[in-house]
């Protein structure tokens, strides 16, 4: 059946990390109408072959009026219910697929029956002759084992509550001398319908469908109608289980329910102004990155570029200890970290001539020539260009070198963030009014959600610092929202 719209929307919003191996049985197998449900646009399910899985017994569910899949125009409609028994002699021949994880999740969302995907309930018998050679080879290759591997667990579709429906035991197509009873949907359904040619039967033929319908009707007569309402499968029953809820809708629902304040620390965990962060989505290491902007000795140390300009670098060095705390917290929670460095090539090929002339005329500083205690100011590989020791990057952390105030301009910063799947950015560094602010505003235009840690940023004067904070917060946080480092760290400890 067609997946409900909310299920399609939910799966569409997911980012696939790859494929998973899934064992399925029933109308989702090759040759049946729902086979397409485990495909994903551009990434169809890959059929590996058959795998004999032990520990589950096949039943046919007898659909009755009120079931979401009940259709009086299609009396032949039937699905298998694989009920876990834990008995190795209950065996079923599953179809084994490599499925895009989004399709894997969406395949069962919206299902009217009591189905689940169990990762460890069944094992594929890799020694059995009915298990396809390709399945055996693949399983041993993925598990990095040789031919000695006898079995392996597999994610499989099972019925998790047999008492909720009327079930008819599926006939086995093979009973072995040791008592093993083997079922397989097509073969067992063919036998159930009264045919003997299990290999050649056309399951789409009118003859086959009519025979199945008669067999189901006969079986239904043997079962008393369940006297209790099967509310989970009633067509009028509202469903919570497979309706994805956006963060905005969740906020509205929780407020309507009167319990919004109870969950606020987990929905938008960072206390900030004018809104808690993040506004949408979650504070997760998978989607969050810390940007440490230009905490170089040229900006924080006496004898560097800012000192040569005549500024007191005390307010620029003040955030260093707080940034170090934030770095430690982010590293502990596996938050991605990117450092930036401002500076020009030694030959000044990337320094606009008017920039150099402006510094000479107004400040008496000649970029590339003027030398101080930390070497030539704003020149790469000079002592002043290096990041301050208190916030020195780990080897696993990225560094983006830039020449513009905006760290996105002429760099690969955006590419790195998009590759990582980052949506939330945390900002700290120097100077708040120039490079931090320029980068933050560009990030806002690129669609990132921005959090500025105000006590982790330096400016040469309190008035300038306050003005920049206010400019981020205007128009209900047009460029982002503002928090203190302690509130951010507290939120990390709570949700990550």
For the annotated catalytic residues, the residue numbers are 294, 402, 435
Residue 185 CA to residue 81 CA, distance in Å, equals: 10
Which two structure tokens, joined as six digits, stand for 256?
């309507």
C-beta of residue 275 within 8 angstroms of C-beta of residue 477: yes
Which two structure tokens, joined as six digits, stand for 120?
């460890």
Residue with tokens 């290096």: 386
Please choose, from the candidates 372, 308, 375, 374, the residue with its C-alpha nearest in 3D space to the C-alpha of residue 346.
375
DSSP, collapsed to helix, strand or coil, labels residue 490 as helix
Please choose, from the candidates 163, 181, 183, the residue with its C-alpha nearest in 3D space to the C-alpha of residue 230.
163
Q: How far is CA 233 from CA 8, 68, 157, in A?
A: 20, 6, 18
Which two structure tokens, joined as six digits, stand for 50?
């058959």
Alpha helices in 25-117 (DSSP H): 101-106
Residue 209 CA to residue 157 CA, distance in Å, equals: 24
Q: How far is CA 327 from CA 39, 82, 157, 292, 421, in A?
A: 42, 50, 43, 9, 20
DSSP 231: G
Please choose, from the candidates 57, 39, 169, the residue with its C-alpha nearest in 3D space to the C-alpha of residue 107.
39
C-beta of residue 216 within 8 angstroms of C-beta of residue 78: yes
Entry field: residues in the chain: 496
Q: For the purposes of burial, counting CB atoms within 10 Å of the CB of 157, is it exposed (0-12), middle (13-18) or buried (19 or more)?
A: buried
DSSP, collapsed to helix, strand or coil, labels residue 432 as helix
Q: For the purposes of burial, counting CB atoms within 10 Å of the CB of 108, is it exposed (0-12), middle (13-18) or buried (19 or more)?
A: middle
C-beta of residue 429 within 8 angstroms of C-beta of residue 455: no
- Report the half-sphere exposure of 281 (CA within 13 A, side-chain side): 17
């Amino acid at each position: 059946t067609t997946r409900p719209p909310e299920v399609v929307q939910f799966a569409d919003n997911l980012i696939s990390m790859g494929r998973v191996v899934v064992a399925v049985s029933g109308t989702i197998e090759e040759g049946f109408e729902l086979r397409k449900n485990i495909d994903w646009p551009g990434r169809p399910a890959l059929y590996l072959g058959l795998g004999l899985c032990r520990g589950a017994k096949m039943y046919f569910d007898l659909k009755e009026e009120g079931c979401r899949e009940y259709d009086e125009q299609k009396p032949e409609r039937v699905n298998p219910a694989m009920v876990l028994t834990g008995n190795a002699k209950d065996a079923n021949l599953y179809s084994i697929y490599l499925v895009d994880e989004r399709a894997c999740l969406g395949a069962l969302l919206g299902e009217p029956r009591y189905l689940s995907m169990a990762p460890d309930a069944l094992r594929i018998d890799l020694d059995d002759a009915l298990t396809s050679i390709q399945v055996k080879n693949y399983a041993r290759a993925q598990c990095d084992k040789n031919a000695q591997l006898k079995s392996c667990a597999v994610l499989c579709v099972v019925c998790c509550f047999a008492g909720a429906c009327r079930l008819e035991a599926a006939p086995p197509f093979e009973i072995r001398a040791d008592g093993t009873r083997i079922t397989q949907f097509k073969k067992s359904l063919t036998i159930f319908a009264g045919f003997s040619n299990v290999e050649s039967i056309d399951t789409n033929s009118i003859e086959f469908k009519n025979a199945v319908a008669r067999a189901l009707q006969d079986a239904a007569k043997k079962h008393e109608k369940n006297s209790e309402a099967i509310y989970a499968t009633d067509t009028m029953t509202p469903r919570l289980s497979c309706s994805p809820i956006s963060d905005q809708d969740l906020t509205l629902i929780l407020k309507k329910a009167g319990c919004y304040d109870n969950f606020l620390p987990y929905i938008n965990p960072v206390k900030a102004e004018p809104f808690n962060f993040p506004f949408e989505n979650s504070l997760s290491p998978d989607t969050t990155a810390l940007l440490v902007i230009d905490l170089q000795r040229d900006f924080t140390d006496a004898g560097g570029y800012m000192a040569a300009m005549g500024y007191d670098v005390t307010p620029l060095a003040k955030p260093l200890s707080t940034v170090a705390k934030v770095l430690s917290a982010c590293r502990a929670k596996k938050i991605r970290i990117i450092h930036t460095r401002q500076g020009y090539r030694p030959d000044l090929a990337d320094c606009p001539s008017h920039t150099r002339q402006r510094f000479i005329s107004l400040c008496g500083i000649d970029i590339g020539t003027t030398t101080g205690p930390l070497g030539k100011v704003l020149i790469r590989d000079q002592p002043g260009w290096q990041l301050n020791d208190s916030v020195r990057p780990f080897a696993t952390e990225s560094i983006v070198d830039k020449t513009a105030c905006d760290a996105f301009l002429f760099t690969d910063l955006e590419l790195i963030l998009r590759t990582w799947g980052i949506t939330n950015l945390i900002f700290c560094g120097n100077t708040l009014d120039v490079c931090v602010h320029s980068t933050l505003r560009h990030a806002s235009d690129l669609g990132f959600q921005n959090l500025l840690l105000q006590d982790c940023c330096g400016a040469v004067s309190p008035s300038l610092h306050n003005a920049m904070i206010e400019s981020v917060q205007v128009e209900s946080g047009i460029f982002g929202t503002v928090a203190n480092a302690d509130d951010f760290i507290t939120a990390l400890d709570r949700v990550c």
